[in-house]
A and B are shown apart, each in its own frame.
Chain A
Amino acid sequence: MAIEVRIPTILRTYTDGAKAVDGSGETLQALIDDLEGNHPGIKDRLIESGDLRRFVNVYINDEDVRFMGGLDAELSDGDQVVVLPAVAGGAGSSAQPVGR
């Protein structure tokens, strides 16, 4: 079972620069465990406290896995998985104008 996983620039240090790698697994969790075997360290960048990191987006065939059961989302042969870090930030609540 082969599943193509697209890797964002910031995580290509774990894939020797490869933009896409193949993995296998019947769920997203199993796929990530499989990736970790070949690309040690990558799992920690995707998962925190047993759940997907808040600011990492994962898509299976263009659908956000958060709407498909998260790490329990099921995978089939030929699926395409895309990993994209969120583009986010902002002044933050600690940056309120002085004096408020």
Chain B
Amino acid sequence: MLTIDRTTYDAIVAHAKRDHPDEACGIVAGPEGSDRPERLVEMVNAAGSPTFYEFDSTDLLQLYKDMDARDEEPVVVYHSHTATEAYPSRTDIGLAMEPNAHYVLVSTREHGNNDGPVEFRSYRIIDGAVTEEEVTVVAQLQSRESEESTP
């Protein structure tokens, strides 16, 4: 299951709507091993395409260096589909290289740049196998302290 806070969820949806009809992409980083999506990083789609996304190679290196310095990993890797459903394509499955990440897909096919609901779905993609998982949106992620101080 993916647990994500409302602010981050809304920001991902807003990014997807803003970049429509091109695919939007980014990550939500969090402390290594925590499974907490805490820090949204919107990325530029270097492909600038309605059917493909790719992080720019220089941006990619900077992103991973930043995460490394903070002991973070990509907890969520997200992108949008702009004409099709929010389900991983063959390309998505073949290129999924983060076994620990939740792969989030947002589809803007219904309302494009405009207000209105979107499909927001999450998957694990490991060795070519796709498993959909529940998405729980919370007001705020539970504080790390309260989790750690369980008696």
Contact = CB atoms under 8 A, between A and B. Distances in A.
Given A64-B58, A95-B83, A96-B83, A89 B53 contact: yes
Interface string B73-100: 1100101011110001111100111111
23 contacts: A9-B98, A62-B61, A85-B97, A86-B54, A86-B55, A87-B25, A87-B54, A88-B54, A89-B52, A89-B79, A89-B92, A89-B95, A90-B49, A90-B89, A91-B23, A91-B50, A91-B84, A91-B91, A93-B51, A95-B81, A95-B83, A95-B89, A96-B83
A57 B57 contact: yes
A87 B43 CA distance: 10
B130 interface: no
Contacts of A47: none
A70 interface: no
B40 interface: no
Contacts, number: 97
Contact of A92 (B52, B79, B99): B52
Interface of A: 8-10, 55, 57, 59, 62, 64, 66, 82, 84-97
Interface string B8-37: 000000000000000101010000000000
B64 A94 contact: no
B99 A10 contact: yes
A91 B22 CA distance: 11
B138 interface: no
A92 B60 contact: no
Given A95-B83, A96-B83, A97-B83, A87 B60 contact: yes
A85 B90 CA distance: 17
A8 B61 CA distance: 12
A60 B10 CA distance: 37
Contacts of A55: 95, 97
Nearest to B103: A89
